[in-house]
Structure 1
Amino acid sequence: MFSTLHGMSRSDAQLAQEALNQEGSYRFPAFSASDAVTLGLSLRKRFRASHRHAKGKGLVISIQSIAGHPLFSCTVGDLGHFSGYADVGLDSWSCLEAMINAVKRTGHSSFYVEKGANALGKTPKQMGIQEVPVQGGAFPIWLENAPICPVAVVACYSGSSQDDHNLVVTSIRDYLNKILRNSEAGTSMPVPSIAPPPRPESRSDWNLPEVTTVASEYTRPESLYDGHDDEH
């Protein structure tokens, strides 16, 4: 039985290649702060509905721009809860930041970095990536028309490399499919119409009196020199 399970398992090289293919397939047409919040809430909802959360596991979520600006941050579970559930450790955020830094450093998902290093028989430190170990759960956000570098990083940490990676990738895949369905159905945000500029008012609209000059009523004022020509 164990030999059969061993034959069904995939190698680190195969897992790394699969993660690389996912990075190339799941790219956004655009990514805004609103997308980050929607995606973050989706991650939270999915984890709360999972069997791992039901067994007492906790999760930390962070979505940042590639420059490090926080777009979404959330903790699922409490370390000091009286039930003992949701074991969010004090080092959870430190592990999450290490995963995010690995994505920023390499441009690849932390799961790809982990499995790629394992396939080469090296540690992240030996590969010059970082000092601390790397595990799956952080994924780069690429734009379809911007192959230079990722624009953001989506990351979650619960202590399970494979599960955290699958949670992030599945949430991104479903969110992209939703965007595609909305665009095909034409349910995107309508473009606001721009009202034409107001027409300049004519003089008749101002109700100003017309100024008329009648030649017969106009009399030139007398000059001091009037009548002097008669004396000469």
Structure 2
Amino acid sequence: MAPGSASLDIQALETEERELVLPRFSPEDAWALGVLTQSIAAEAGHGVVLDIRRPNLLLFRAVLPGATPDQQAWADRKAAVTLRLESSSALVDARLSAAGVDPASIGWLDEHYAVTGGSFPIRVRDVGVVAAITASGLSSQEDHDLVVSGLRAHLNTNVETHPGQ
């Protein structure tokens, strides 16, 4: 990694999290976001598992052709990171890597967590993190980019259909 590139990655990831804040998030919004993200993945031919969840409540899941059971396990573990730390799993990974910290060595991120890109917090304005959207099946960066693309498209659709919210 080039000098200073870790801080640029962290800044870019933090900017994404500040930008991708929804005005609201209902079960209907979870469904719309999931279907939209699934369409993006299917159009690109990605064999991924997608899910949207709150703690202890699955709101949406799609398994695209080519996905494997192992990818569901990874999605579970990535989402656990996002829901626990209220940051994208990619941002957690970048921050720990920049600090030279091995997640397994710190003790509070055991085998139930996967500190790698692909899960992103669903944040509602004036509320905070209410859920996580997760993809598994591509590279960490591609999984991250997929969920961010879905969130961006959903947010743009939401703004267009509900101006002023």
TM > 0.5 between the two? yes
Find the counterpart in structure 1 of residue 123 from structure 2: 142
Partners in 1 of 2:142 and 2:105 — Cα distance? Answer: 26
Q: What is the root-mean-square deviation of aligned Cα atoms in Å?
A: 2.2
Higher strand share: 2
Paired residues, what number?
163
- Counterpart of 2:59 (choices 63, 66, 71) is 71
SS where residue 23 of structure 2 aligns?
coil
Identity between Structure 1 and Structure 2 (%): 27
Higher helix share: 2
SS where residue 13 of structure 1 aligns?
helix
CA contact (8 A) 1:105 1:129 kept: no
Residues 168-206 of structure 1 show CA distances to partners (whole Å, capped at 9, x for unaligned) of 11111121111111223x9x9xxxxxxxxxxxxxxxxxx
Partners in 1 of 2:4 and 2:157 — Cα distance? Answer: 30
- Counterpart of 1:108 (choices 74, 80, 87) is 87
Structure 2, unmatched stretches of 5+, are none
Q: CA deviation at 1:128?
A: 4.1
Find the counterpart in structure 1 of residue 96 from structure 2: 117
| Distance verdict in 2 for CA 1:127–1:22, change over 3 Å | farther
Find the counterpart in structure 2 of residue 60 from structure 1: 49
Q: How does 1:1-232 map to 2 (within 5 A)?
A: 11-50=5-44, 53=45, 57-65=46-54, 67-77=55-65, 86=66, 88-132=67-111, 133-147=114-128, 150-184=129-163
Q: CA deviation at 1:154?
A: 0.6
CA contact (8 A) 1:102 1:129 kept: no
Give TM-score scaled by structure 1 length.
0.64
CA contact (8 A) 2:23 2:125 kept: yes
| Distance verdict in 2 for CA 1:135–1:26, change over 3 Å | same
Structure 1 window deviating more from structure 2 (152-161 vs 14-23): it is 14-23
